[in-house]
Amino acid sequence: MISVYKLKPKFQQLLTPVLLFLHKNTVTANQITVSSILLSLIIGVLFWNADQSEWFFLSLPIGLLVRMALNALDGMMARKFNQTSRLGEVLNEVGDIVSDVIIFFPLLKFQPESLYLIIIFIVLSIVNEFAGLMGKIVGKERRYDGPMGKSDRALILGIYGVVVFFGAEISGISLYIFGLIILLLTISTYIRLKKSLHEA
């Protein structure tokens, strides 16, 4: 299925100079992971307060791009420089789920007409990540299959931030947007679980 995650190898190549710079300055994989979680908290706070300044909506595309970079860098750092650990894995997995909830939560404030769909979206995002983890538990590897994985959700929310910043009104179509996202999340979760069981 189509997913932004398939661009990850190219993205990692672009980040290699940054990786080497961080390693040279003794930055660890776990420090990068914690930085990503703290950044997510900042994004969530800015997003929540975007009704006070429309500029805060830009924290979504900018902040989520940086977060994606940090998420790639911590894994690269751990693998390349032998920094893998159980603590790092827990920080990465739990941190991603907590970060997503923090960042998605303000949608309830700005799109109240889609309240229940947004709640379902947040819950399914968590389920989707657990479905990915099941690949590691019952199969051979952690699953990242789309079409609405973590990277795809970040892209959608980044686009949302840009669109709203420029004054677009999506209240009239938000039900359809979140309905489609929920459908894609359901498909993604099904694919992850199916492939995990197949590998098992």
HEC secondary structure over 153-181: HHHHHHHHHHHHHCCCCCCCCHHHHHHHH
Q: Work out the number of other CB atoms within 10 angstroms of the CB of residue 198.
A: 9
Q: Tell me the average pLDDT of the chain.
A: 91
pLDDT for the residue 102: 95
Place of tokens 């751990």: 78
Instruction: Return the pLDDT at 141.
Output: 83
pLDDT of 142 higher than 90 = no
Among 39, 34, 136, 41, residue whose Cα is nearest residue 91: 34
Q: Which residue has the higher pLDDT, 5 or 198?
A: 198
Backbone angles phi, psi at 11, to 5 degrees: -65, -40
Per CATH, the number for 4-199 is 1.20.120.1760
pLDDT of residue 153: 93
Label residue 196 by pLDDT band (50, 70, 90). Answer: confident
Q: Delimit the domains of the chain by residue range.
A: 4-199
User: How confident is residue 200, by pLDDT bands cut at 50, 70 and 90?
Assistant: low
**pLDDT tens across 7-40, in order?**
778 888 888 999 999 999 999 999 999 999 999 9
Mean pLDDT of 109-122: 96
Q: How far apart are CA 108 and CA 118, in angstroms?
A: 7
3-state secondary structure of 28: coil
58-115 pLDDT, tens digit per residue, is: 999 999 999 999 999 998 999 889 888 889 889 988 999 999 999 999 999 999 999 9
Residues 36-69 have pLDDT tens digits of 999 999 999 999 999 999 999 999 999 999 999 9
